[in-house]
Amino acid sequence: MLAEDTIEDVLEGQETSGQTTIKNPNLEVDLGSKKVFQRKKERLDKESNIVEEISKLNERSSSAVKFVNYTSHPIRVVNEEGDLVLSLEPAKRAVRVKTRMEDVVDVAGVPIATKTTRRVNKLPPPKPGVLYVVSGYVKNVLSHRSDLVVPDISSKSIIRDENGEVEAVRRLSR
């Protein structure tokens, strides 16, 4: 009874024919199952095809994405070859985080203020197919929103001009 239960768990109720051995750390049973392996392979192939289809869908839908710049400065994204792939002018009204000073305490002669975030101004609700480029501060406050991206200003992404000013980035980040 125990061996039959274990075999059914391994086979998941599938038919077997022929002679094949499946090795399990806890069990070695002669199951005779070219069909079992074929069905497992077919299931894996099907799952692989689903992943490929999702990837293709993502590629197709990514060209339909609209980027909206809600920062106060232009956004330029270049690829590894330096070609411009995205250029966004600054928003007429940048999204800002409203804060309020709650308390100021003196610690060893140094005033320390406690800020409380009240709200984010002027950011529209999420829309399908739209990504909003915002400041890192806005993104941190609204970290639950997956439609917000920020310029990646890490050393591997940022490109500066001869005066040290940000010229472009190689990518945006979530």
Judge if 55 and 90 occupy the same domain: no
Q: What share of the chain is helix, strand, coil (3-state, %, to 5)?
A: 25, 35, 35
Q: Quick check: 31 and 11 in contact, CB under 8 A?
A: yes
pLDDT in tens, 57-82: 555 555 689 999 999 999 999 999 99
Sequence-separated (6 or more) residues with CB below 8 Å from residue 156: 170
Judge if 28 and 103 occupy the same domain: no
Higher pLDDT, 167 or 57: 167
Q: How far apart are the C-alpha atoms of 18 and 82, rounded to whole Å?
A: 59
Judge if 84 and 154 occupy the same domain: yes
Provide the residue range defining the domain that includes 151. 66-173
Within 10 angstroms of residue 35's Cβ, the number of other Cβ atoms is 15
Q: What is the CA radius of gyration of the chain?
A: 28
Judge if 7 and 43 occupy the same domain: yes
pLDDT in tens, 27-56: 444 455 555 556 666 666 666 666 666 555
Total domains, the chain: 2
Judge if 108 and 138 occupy the same domain: yes
Would the pTM count as exceeding 0.95?
no
Judge if 76 and 20 occupy the same domain: no
Judge if 115 and 31 occupy the same domain: no
Judge if 86 and 53 occupy the same domain: no
Of 9, 115, 130, the residue nearest 61 (C-alpha): 130
Judge if 43 and 71 occupy the same domain: no
